[in-house]
Amino acid sequence: MPLTRSLAPARIGKLCARLATGLALLLVLGLGVAPVQAIAADNFPASAPSSHLLDEADVFSRASRAEVEKQLESLAAERVDARLVTINRLDYGLTLDQLGQQLLERWATSSSEAPDPNRLLLLIDTKTKAAAVVASPQLKRQLSPDLLRSTARTTMAQPLRDGDRYRQATVDGLERLATVLRGGDDPGEDVIEEAAVVASNIPTKEETESSNAFTWVVVLLVVGSVVPMLTWWVFSR
């Protein structure tokens, strides 16, 4: 009986320690990890912000941010207001292209500028490693829908899938579009280098079928069987 009473406080102490640890863990998780908010057009300013880079996903370093901002601003010489938007989660049922179109409409209707500037939007979804490029209607005379689609799905998407290269994807996409805006020919999609085929000493199926190796094997087997028999027959007489 005394032994049971002496064990009770120890068990109660362990139980309290476990409860305290669990509560602390819940507090840390609740306070330290903010839920990822789904992004829609309403989450952005009602008018086009002064910054050309809206890095909502926070994937650019300070140096990359300055470089991309400068490259976006350089298109002002072509009378184009270029913006880059990064997100990490789209609102349910919304595509990246739809978000871009909604932002174009949102900023166009609230703009005090007259006339509305030629606006070009590049969008990157860091969760799906996808990109989209949308342009205001007056820009589509220079930038065709096929060019915008190709720039997003190949020129930009390839660096995104190849190691989350957000800076490279942006630079490559802007350089291709800037070339066309300045009157040059579309440089086209980047050529994806295929891995070099390693030479092998193992013959292919075609090489095996076309060779005479099987015939020589049969001949050697016949000779190896017949010659010993003939030798034995000659010397056994």
**DSSP for 117-152, written as a single string:** -EEEEEEEETTTTEEEEEE-GGGGGTS-HHHHHHII
> Tens digits of per-residue pLDDT, 32-47?
444 456 788 888 988 8
pLDDT at 117: 81
Q: For residue 23, is pLDDT > 50?
A: no
Chain-centre distance for alpha carbon 3: 64
Q: For residue 166, is pLDDT > 80?
A: yes
pLDDT at 119: 95
- Complete domains list, the chain, with CATH: 53-181 (3.10.310.50)
Task: Choose among 166, 74, 163, 161: nearest CA to 122.
Answer: 166
Task: Choose among 183, 174, 182: nearest CA to 156.
Answer: 174
Q: Which residues pair with 81 in a beta bridge?
A: 119
* CB atoms inside a 10 Å sphere around CB 149: 13
Q: For residue 27, is pLDDT > 80?
A: no
How many Å apart are CA 177 and CA 185, to the nearest integer? 10
Quickly tell me which residue has 């409860």 as its tokens: 19
Task: Choose among 61, 115, 90, 76: nearest CA to 103.
Answer: 90
Residues in the chain, total: 237
As a whole number, mean pLDDT of residues 134-162 equals: 95
Percentage of the chain modeled with pLDDT above 90:
50
Residue-averaged pLDDT of the chain: 79
CB 150 within 8 A of CB 182: no
How many Å apart are CA 194 and CA 177, to the nearest integer? 26
Chain-centre distance for alpha carbon 198: 28
Q: Which residues in 56-79 are b (16+ Cβ under 10 Å) and which e?
A: bbeebeeebbebbbebbeebeebe
CB 122 within 8 A of CB 75: no
DSSP H or E segment with residue 173? helix 166-181
Q: For residue 51, is pLDDT > 50?
A: yes
Lowest mean pLDDT among 1-5, 42-46, 84-88: 1-5
CB 126 within 8 A of CB 159: no
